[in-house]
A and B are shown apart, each in its own frame.
Chain A
């Protein structure tokens, strides 16, 4: 009976409590709204930055490692150290047979090829010869109307070229290059596709938007190359990378006769590992932004608590009267906590609305081409952010009401009733 009466009485008292003075209520709600906007925008920017970093990291390819030949640093089976290791184009097929669960592509690169189109500007650029699987491994997706290399291109040593989007623009300008001719070091190629624009953080040799990709079977004979510049491998899940690399190292050590434990024989860039670091940095940034936002909100909460203290002080006599008439301390404090919570949540709703409008407005700002903005990303509101903000708001609201309420509960009706 008593426990059931508690929420009812608290609610009834809340309904009967006189509203705050309008100006006070507006200021209180505004301070909470401001805190909410601050935390939502900071967390939103954090999320935007994270999304952008993730996208940038994925730009080069997901779960990949780049391997380049090195020099032995250990004596092995009677062979001296200091031998150069060179990887052959055929090694790709050999490694595929040894590591069937891993996607493997080889790359040969020429850094300053002459690129001369039928119509357009002649420039010097980078050309990569590789396998057709490179598109998936290194995230080279064609814009509509074009395609990437396919198995037949590789098999038939076709003279086809896939262009990075920036390079395509530099050579062909506004003209669609697909189907156009492009001379690479004097040999004619046909452009079959242009890469979709992508955000790329991390590169070796240069950003993907600036190179030409052709079949390795075409480029190698043209340049007279038999050695690879590097290998790129892709595993299905990040946790498989370490094992794949170990097996790859072992396979190559057997072929080229070097100590499998010789770290210098092969250079390895494991992006899975560096992405972990990146993940931690992003988390740190988000946490920092979140804390700054939460502190701003807390200041708003102090404002609410302050107002509620004033309310308790002004209403000391009324609270004393209610207690004299039989109200229990809990009912009175519950009413005050409820009041603090309502003001906080009202402020939170207003702030949430403002933040949503701001995010929508910022979304209208064009970022394409602006590198700083492209990197920063756009503030993004998400369900976890909403949940976190709501939780902090609730906590702040309860605390803002709780301490003033404790003061109210300590009111001695006998002291307050007799005198004006």
Chain B
């Protein structure tokens, strides 16, 4: 099957050596006024284009914070972060919004589909923000939904879909803007075993098609599918 990111020029952007993620000395401190919480204490992480990385670790280890930084939902207190060669550490909110839109596809544990919109409109949403003309939006969204096996559920609202189907809509949405990186946060956490392995196969298929995939998970079955596992403890990456 042809996935959108595989169809474009696969040559890495100039000067990046094919690196999608390059983090150097990343620190994140939450200042709550009274106390300062050091969530990340110096992360060095490099992910090459086409890698499939699982991030594991106990709760409180800083996984979520790392995911937020990787997805440009938040900025680090200290350190350097290049996303597909673009330095994003010092960007303002609008700049981050644009980088998220162009470079990152999110898949969340709780799907985070907009409940009042149809599957098709949900997939269209990132393209709306990205300025894709409406006819093209519609075509692409429909094609993506077909690719994730929901060609017959295009006009369904999220409430009319099963958990597995919702997550597949979310995957289609993540692919809409041909992202450099797909970030999945416990993608199987809210699914039963069958739907879970279903979504897992889909993600694996994406990876085989050329996607760069970073998955945060507790699910050992999922983590074991990944060729590379990054384990976190107390805000640091530890060797296994």
A-side residues, CB < 8 A to B, are 1, 5, 9, 12-13, 16-18, 317-318, 321-331, 412-414, 417-420
Is B197 an interface residue when CB atoms closer than 8 A count as contact?
no
A321–B114 contact, CB under 8 A? yes
In angstroms, how far is the closest chain A Cβ from the Cβ of B214? 15
Instruction: Give the residues in chain B near A321, CB-CB below 8 Å.
Output: 112-114
How long is the Cα–Cα vector from A317 to B98 in the complex, in angstroms?
19
Chain B residues near A1 (CB, 8 Å)? 131
Closest to A19 in B: B116
Q: Could you tell me if A325 and B126 are in contact, using CB atoms closer than 8 angstroms? A: yes
Task: Return chain A residues, CB-CB under 8 Å to B112.
Answer: 317, 321, 324, 417
Q: Which residues of A contact B102 (CB under 8 A)?
A: 326
Q: Which residues of A contact B52 (CB under 8 A)?
A: none
Within 8 A of A (CB), among B200-239: none
Category for how many chain B residues contact A? 20 to 34
A-B contact pairs, 12 of them (CB 8 A): A9-B129, A16-B117, A16-B121, A18-B115, A322-B114, A325-B126, A325-B129, A326-B102, A331-B129, A414-B68, A417-B108, A418-B185
Cβ–Cβ contact B131 & A324, under 8 A: no
A318 CA / B121 CA spacing, docked (Å)? 14
Q: State the CA gap A118–B61 with chains docked (Å).
A: 115
User: What 10 A-B pairs are tightest by C-beta distance, nearest first?
Assistant: A326-B101, A18-B116, A326-B129, A414-B73, A414-B68, A325-B126, A321-B112, A414-B74, A5-B131, A328-B97
B74 partner residues in chain A, CB cutoff 8 A: 412, 414
The answer on a CB contact under 8 Å between B100 and A324 is: yes
Chain A CB within 10 Å, residue with most, of B93, B129, B131, B185:
B129
B101 touching A325, Cβ below 8 Å:
yes
When C-beta atoms are compared, the residue in chain A nearest to B113 turns out to be: A321
Contacting A at CB under 8 A, from B50-84, are: 64, 68, 71, 73-74
| A326 with B130: CB separation less than 8 A | yes
Residues on A with C-beta less than 8 A from B117 are 16
User: Considering the chains assembled together, what is the distance between the CA atoms of A18 and B74 in angstroms?
Assistant: 28
Q: Name the CB-closest residue of B to A324.
A: B106
Q: Which of B168-217 contact A (CB under 8 A)?
A: 173, 177, 185
